Amino acid sequence: MPEDGSGVAVIDPWLEPFKPALQSRYKRFQSWVAKINESGNGYDNFTKGYEYFGFNVQPDNSITYREWAPNATSASLIGEFNNWQHDAHPMKKDDFGVFHLSIPPTADGKPAIPHNSKVKISMKIPQSNDRIDRLPAWITRVTQDLNVSPIYDAVFWNPPQKYVFKNSRPKKPTSVKVYEAHVGISSQEPRVGTYKEFTSNILPRIAHLGYNTIQLMAVMEHAYYASFGYQVTSYFAASSRYGTPEDLMELIDTAHGYGITVLLDVVHSHACKNVLDGLNEFDGTDHCYFHEGARGRHELWDSRLFNYGAFEPLRFLMSNLRYWMDCYQFDGFRFDGVTSMLYKHHGLSYGFSGGYHEYFNEGVDEEAVTYLMLANDFLNKQYPDVITIAEDVSGMPALCRPVREGGIGFDYRLAMAVPDTWIKMLKEQNDDEWEMGNIVYVLTNRRHLEKNIAYAESHDQALVGDKTLAFWLMDKEMYTNMSDLTPLTSIIDRGMALHKMIRFITHALGGEGYLNFEGNEFGHPEWLDFPRAGNNASFHYARRQWNVVDDKLLRYKYLNEWDRAMQVAESHYHWLSSPQAFVSRKHEGDKIIAFERAGLIFIFNFHATQSFSDYCIGTHNPGEYRVVLDSDDKKFLGHGRIQHNTSYFTNPGHYDGCDHHLKVKIPER
């Protein structure tokens, strides 16, 4: 394979005309690696910025503090420890725009800044000689008291007892089954949940269900709770809404004890525009960490955009990744907003047709592409078992191929078209209008040798303004007919059946990984809506109603156990890590989809009224077959129409592109 960045064209011949662009991209990446080696002393030193910048306590308990603020003419450290006196601790500026100072320990040998006391950096700017106060950019703890102000305070975090991790990281799972979760909404009560509650109450649920990976949302500190964590203000601070940094460490450590990998939903695609408690206008300019002018602003998100082509912002972001990996023991990242990063137009009002010219033109933000290549290259070299997932809707070729081949280096991309398709079908089509060919196309339409994480719904579909699959399927009857003591109405019967089938066919056919948003495994009722002005700051919909799945009289338990059965079966048969399925049948009239994967035959009957007693299914693998998983099983609120003690034997004979076939009973949906 060529070593000039065009190796991906060997895998995907459609990239052949774009080899010069791939080679140019790879040269830019190599140039940055050389610059990091020369000026940053290599990845290892360059990505440890948090040990140089910000606050660091030395062995003798002296404290060093450094901050990059090139526009400022002078700076001083102020805080409760010096009564906010601007002349008490002035800082010196070096030739690179970095202010620094060292504070000796107290007479009794303790750090001069008490643990959990408030601090700020105060700077003078040349434009007006005005003084501006900012939260330190590398601060690791910020707190908010809404009774006083919505603006965060930075605190010096130096607890006397450091958290000691007890469990080692799990090995990288071959079949990634992701449980997407938000600590704050994980409480059943109408309030913000905590790290400790998640550790005690939610981790056991996730482990029971059989998920091997957790994706934690809204961990990086964000000023506005209702932003779902996507308006980050302090990049090195774990959100204090949910507890202390040590509480989060314990959560991750405990998950590792269950053998569960933990990913951070990292937001490097943009930053909150807050000035007083964010990075915006940090040194008095609009271009300290960001692009200046219009290029530094995302108009739709009303946020700031990083300058990925500048040395210090790059060090800040790459060090941020390492910080979460080393200090909190995260196992990888789901990169938010990758489409916005990849293109100067951010994907706004741009319909990607799949033509390769859309991925190699002046609209591509090559600086952002280079950053993502550097980030993935570093992470894979430093942490062999790391997992990185890209949230990209554009279909950028080679996004999930190794950097050495000319790819961008992610392990997985999210199959974002899949949930959109299911919702569109439920909204706009009657059951008999569902097209089996379209379902198969959407679930199998992915780039060769680039892994996808498939999902039927995520947090996006749960948000107010949309509905979960369960709510689209059963709507108001979820309030009246989800008890085993009530009649099984046709709406609930249909909804429960399709909820199981949609999730299972997505799981089995849609990718090389699977994702579920917390609560949706049991058909969580209603939607998700954070407290805000429009709902009188209500927490009613910003929680998870675990009581409905724990109530043995309610039918949510059937969906929960079905979800568990899917994960357990996959852990045994490993279809997610097997080659893509061979689809033998997608019959529009019969509403049948059949395919083979991992030595299993998957059969789905989406017909509302038609059952089949001896339906012929083709297979490449002759032999005896038995039922492994059955959505019609009564323990999943099915009707028990399939005998599980029956063996099915194949017969020779060409059928549906296969050399063998067998006949099976397939009840109506």
Catalytic residues: 336, 391
| 291 C-beta neighbours (distance < 10 Å), count | 20
Q: Vertex 365, ends 364 and 368: CA angle to 5°?
A: 135
Q: Phi and psi of 506, rounded to 5°?
A: -65, -45
Which two structure tokens, joined as six digits, stand for 175?
């079949």
Which two structure tokens, joined as six digits, stand for 232?
């980050």
Full DSSP string of 15-60: GGGGHHHHHHHHHHHHHHHHHHHHHS-HHHHHTTGGGTSEEEE-TT
Which helix H or strand E contains 469, and what residues bound it? Answer: helix 469-474
CA-to-CA distance for 316 and 303, rounded, in angstroms? 18
Residues 6 or more apart from 38 whose CB is under 8 A from it? none
> In 3-state terms, what secondary structure has residue 506?
helix
Write down the residue that tokens 């009973």 correspond to: 665
Q: What are the residues facing 600 on neighbouring strands?
A: 597
Q: Phi and psi of 648, rounded to 5°?
A: -120, 125
Write down the residue that tokens 């940090």 correspond to: 282
CA-to-CA distance for 493 and 285, rounded, in angstroms? 60
Does residue 398 come out as left (phi exceeding 0), alpha (psi in the -120 to 50 range) or beta? left
* Helices and strands, counts by H and E, the chain: 16, 29
CA-to-CA distance for 120 and 416, rounded, in angstroms? 41
Q: How far is CA 477 from the centre of its chain?
A: 32
CA-to-CA distance for 169 and 325, rounded, in angstroms? 11
Full DSSP string of 419-449: HHHHHHHHHH--GGG--HHHHHHHHH---TT
Write down the residue that tokens 């045994």 correspond to: 572
281, 289 in Cβ contact below 8 A? no
In eight-state DSSP terms, residue 470 is H
356, 15 in Cβ contact below 8 A? yes
Residues 6 or more apart from 551 whose CB is under 8 A from it? 557
302, with CB counted inside 10 A (0-12, 13-18, 19+), is exposed
Q: How many CA atoms lie within 13 A of 407 on its CB side?
A: 27
- State how beta strands 297-298 and 303-304 pair: antiparallel
Full DSSP string of 115-136: TTEEEEEEEE-TTT--EEEE--
- Kindly list the distances between the CA atom of residue 42 and the CA atoms of 32, 39, 175, in Å, as whole numbers in the listed order: 11, 8, 33
- Kindly list the distances between the CA atom of residue 650 and the CA atoms of 584, 641, 657, 658, in Å, as whole numbers in the listed order: 15, 21, 15, 11
**Strands (E) located in 411-521:** 412-414, 451-454, 513-517
598, 578 in Cβ contact below 8 A? yes
- State how beta strands 332-335 and 261-266 pair: parallel
